[in-house]
Each structure stands twice: as C-alpha cells, then as structure tokens.
Amino acid sequence: MNGGGQPASKQSMRRHNLALVLRQVAAGGSASRAAVAARVGLTKATVSSLVEELRLAGLVVEHVPENQGRVGRPGGALALNPQGAAGVGVEVNVDYTAVCVTDLTGAPRVRLTERAGNRSRDAAETLHSAGRLAARAITAARRAGLSPVQVTLGVPGLVHDDKVLHAPNLDWRHVPAADLLGRGLGRQRPPVSVDNEANLAAIGEFQARPAGAGASFLYISGEIGIGAGLMVDGTLFRGGGFAGEIGHVTVTPDGPECGCGARGCLERYAGQDALLEAAELDTVSATRLGSAPAPVPAAATRPGATRRQAVQEAPADAGAPVERLAALAADGDEAAVRALAVAGRALGVALSGAVNLLDPPEVVIGGIYARLAPWLVPSLQVQLHERVTSGRWRSDRLQVSGLGTEAAVLGAAGAGVQAILRDPSAYIDVTGPAV
C-alpha cells in the first residue's frame, strides 16, 4: 500500500498527518478519535480515516466500549498497539552483550544478557555471537506476536556510517559492525544500524523520563570506558559525529597512559577497570588482589526489571564486578571507598569543565555510576561546587539515572520504535496493512 498516483503535496500531507495523529495517540493516553481531532485541528472525518490506516497497519488499537457496536461513530479509546511493531536493541560492551526488544509503547518485552569476555575475542566473533543472541530474542518476540522492524547496535567507540572506526576497550579498528552483526542474525533479519553506546544510553534516559521532565541534559555513561550524550531539547547533539568522548578529557596532563594514546584521561581514574584496580580488585573476577577468590555476589535486581511483560531469559549479571565493589564500599572497605572518592573527584573535575562550557540544566550519571553513586557523588559535588564558575552550581542539578547499565540497550531498542513514531507512513508503505 502506498500513496502512488497522489500528487507529492498530498503524499507529504498524509505523511505529516499520520505522524501528527500517531504522536497524539502516543502522548494522549486513551483519547478518542474526536479528542485527537480537536487536539490536532483536523476534521473528525480526516482523523478517522488516518486512525483507520494506523489501525489496519497494526500501530494503533481502539478499545470500543461494550455498549457500542463497531458501526456508527467510534468513541473508543485509542492506544499504541503493544502487539505490533517492535525495536531491537543490541549492546556489545567489553564484558557483556545485551539484547532487548521493546514494543511500540516502549515496554521491554524480551531481554537477553550474556556475560562475555569481548575484549579477548576478535570483532567478527563477538558480533557473530551478538547476532545469534539477537536472533534468539527476535524469535521470542515473534512468538509473542511482535514484529521486530529495526535492530540498533550500541558499541563503546567511535561510529560512522554503521561502522566502528575505533573502540579502544574492545581493541576494534575499522570494523563493519552492521554487516558482521547481520551475518549472525541469519535470514529474514530486520535492517541494522550502529551508534555509540553513550549516545543510545542518553536516548534511553530521555525516553524513560516522566512527562514534564526536562528535555535538555548532559548524560554520563560509566562503563569500562566513559561516554557522554548531550541532549538538547530532546535531540542528541552529535557535533561533527563524535561528540561525547568525555572519557578522554584530560584530568592530569602527565597522568597514566590511556588506551587512546594520550595520558591522564578521565577514564584512567573513573572507568570501571581503573576503579577496580584502585580498589585492589581483579578487573575480571573482582576478587581482591593477592587473596583467595571471594564468591561473586548475585546481581541485585536491576532497575527497570519490573516493567510489565518483560521476558527475562538470562540472568542479568553483567554488573557483577561492580556489585562486588559496591558491597565492599557499603561495608566501609577502605580501598573501595578511597577508589570511589578519587573517581568522583576526577569526574567532578571533568564535569565542571563541561558544565562551564555548556551550562546544561541537568547532569545525569548512569551506567555503573548509578549503582556507585552513594560513594561517588559526595566528592563529585565538591568539585562541581568549587569549579563551576559564578558559584551557581546547585546540588540538585546532578541526577542519578534510574536505568543504570540498561540505558544503552533500552535506548537502542527504543530507537527503532521512535523511527516509526516519527514517520509511520514509511513503515506502512513498506509493510502494508497488518490485517
């Protein structure tokens, strides 16, 4: 189905109006056709025909009251269809691979996490295995009645044109990531796009914000590397394509060498490996260096895990080393507490530079920093109060993400959904009506 034969202006009008109506349904929470018409300023007849097109494509459902037949003036409540199109997010990080499928409402429906030593494997092997994990998630989603339409891969590195130019902590250079992941996905696969992990985490954070929350913030993603995403009025600022590499902002010009080739980068003080090393823990097993191996504690319930209909098919233990560090800090372990205070200070030095330059209304710390916030934030706030010029820093401008290390994979899955919500006509014209 398409707008074939219609003049260009009519097609672009249809495209615009379909997106307008779908956005109202997404935002409106059970509005009727008449209510949507009143909000968007179109006639009821026009809105009714657009709603019918969205309904037939499986994007919208209409809950008709029992005492009202399907014939006549429809007064049912409109909502996004939780059984229709879905987005697939894949996150390949240094020590885990995660996959999430979210439906049109943004609810995670399938999650798979695999602990993997990705830094010791080559890129093709890692991406093939990530593709296989994603294929399993897609099969589970299809069984649940969903139609995955887009796979978005997040990687901690510099990404251009769906290729990874450099991911220092994975030791990847010039990796055709979309192609390699696609091979693991197998046949009947949705298209794959690739983005930087911190960019996707910032998008995930934005999507999870309650209505009315600010749409401009600086998001900091703590993992083995450290990335940032600058959200400006709900749009990610990408600079020339590589904005957000805050992990390689210099904290000490003659400090320790960094994987990027420079010295004294923030990552060498506040990245996960640096933190574990400073706390005298092994970076892989998180056991105390020079002592007998300690049992790795079970991962705590991860934020967002209680959201409805999530099918968790694998244990979410990706944060195990960080859990060990947090447990030690909670017990008052001197090395752990000191390591976190030093990392918080380094973060504060780097972040105050970013705040002085950009003046974002809020700074959100996420990834592993969400779990470690109780021990990082005090020294971080001291630096922000001291270094943000004009003394205008307020402590409540610093927020802790509720999504933790899941923000990137949720943002990646949400990216596919957002593309449909932005331009439903592109989806409808490719797939045709669902019924």
Q: Please, are residues 272 and 223 in contact by the beta-carbon 8 Å criterion?
A: yes
Neighbouring-strand partners of residue 366: 221
For position 258 contacting Zn ion by CB under 5 A, the verdict is yes
Residue whose entry in the numeric block shows the structure tokens 């798979």: 112
For position 158 contacting Zn ion by CB under 5 A, the verdict is no
Give 56 or 262: the residue with its C-beta nearer to Zn ion.
262
Which pair of structure tokens corresponds to residue 266? 């923030």
Give 262 or 284: the residue with its C-beta nearer to Zn ion.
262
For position 327 contacting Zn ion by CB under 5 A, the verdict is no
Give 74 or 271: the residue with its C-beta nearer to Zn ion.
271
Q: Would you give the binding string for Zn ion spanning residues 8-47, x where CB under 5 A is met?
A: ----------------------------------------
User: Please, what is the minimum distance in Å from the beta carbon of residue 247 to Zn ion?
Assistant: 6
Residue type, 62: E
Query: Residues in contact with Zn ion, total (CB under 5 A)?
Result: 5
Give 248 or 288: the residue with its C-beta nearer to Zn ion.
248
Separation between Cα atoms, residue 50 and residue 21, nearest integer Å: 7
Residue whose entry in the numeric block shows the structure tokens 């030593």: 117
User: Please, what is the minimum distance in Å from the beta carbon of residue 249 to Zn ion?
Assistant: 9
Task: Single out the residue of 430, 429, 421, 426 nearest to residue 59, CA to CA.
Answer: 421
Give 202 or 258: the residue with its C-beta nearer to Zn ion.
258
* Torsional class of 169: left (φ above 0), alpha (ψ -120 to 50), beta (otherwise): alpha
Give 258 or 281: the residue with its C-beta nearer to Zn ion.
258
Stretch that binds Zn ion, among 11-19, 138-146, 197-205, 251-259 (CB under 5 A): 251-259
Residue type, 115: R
Give 121 or 166: the residue with its C-beta nearer to Zn ion.
166
Separation between Cα atoms, residue 407 and residue 303, nearest integer Å: 10
Stretch that binds Zn ion, among 35-43, 128-136, 252-260, 318-326 (CB under 5 A): 252-260
User: Please, what is the minimum distance in Å from the beta carbon of residue 194 to Zn ion?
Assistant: 22
Give 103 or 245: the residue with its C-beta nearer to Zn ion.
245
Give 104 or 346: the residue with its C-beta nearer to Zn ion.
346
Task: Write the DSSP symbol of residue 155.
Answer: E
Residue type, 273: D
For position 248 contacting Zn ion by CB under 5 A, the verdict is yes
Of 260, 314, 400, 434, the one binding Zn ion (CB under 5 A) is 260
Neighbouring-strand partners of residue 228: 220
For position 165 contacting Zn ion by CB under 5 A, the verdict is no
Stretch that binds Zn ion, among 28-36, 62-70, 187-195, 247-255 (CB under 5 A): 247-255
Neighbouring-strand partners of residue 227: 221
Helices of type H across 33-88: 33-40, 44-56
Residue whose entry in the numeric block shows the structure tokens 């459902």: 61
Q: Please, are residues 289 and 281 in contact by the beta-carbon 8 Å criterion?
A: yes
User: Please, what is the minimum distance in Å from the beta carbon of residue 262 to Zn ion?
Assistant: 5
Stretch that binds Zn ion, among 92-100, 209-217, 254-262, 294-302 (CB under 5 A): 254-262
Which pair of structure tokens corresponds to residue 68? 């009202």
User: Please, what is the minimum distance in Å from the beta carbon of residue 363 to Zn ion?
Assistant: 21
User: Please, what is the minimum distance in Å from the beta carbon of residue 421 to Zn ion?
Assistant: 37
Q: Please, are residues 161 and 111 in contact by the beta-carbon 8 Å criterion?
A: no
- 122's CB contacts (< 8 A; 6+ apart) are none
- 196's CB contacts (< 8 A; 6+ apart) are 154, 155, 156, 157, 158, 159, 227, 244
For position 224 contacting Zn ion by CB under 5 A, the verdict is no
Stretch that binds Zn ion, among 96-104, 227-235, 240-248, 314-322 (CB under 5 A): 240-248
Which pair of structure tokens corresponds to residue 15? 């495209």
Q: Please, are residues 148 and 86 in contact by the beta-carbon 8 Å criterion?
A: yes
For position 265 contacting Zn ion by CB under 5 A, the verdict is yes
Give 258 or 388: the residue with its C-beta nearer to Zn ion.
258
Neighbouring-strand partners of residue 148: 86
User: Please, what is the minimum distance in Å from the beta carbon of residue 270 to Zn ion?
Assistant: 12
Residue ranges binding Zn ion (CB under 5 A) = 248, 258, 260, 262, 265
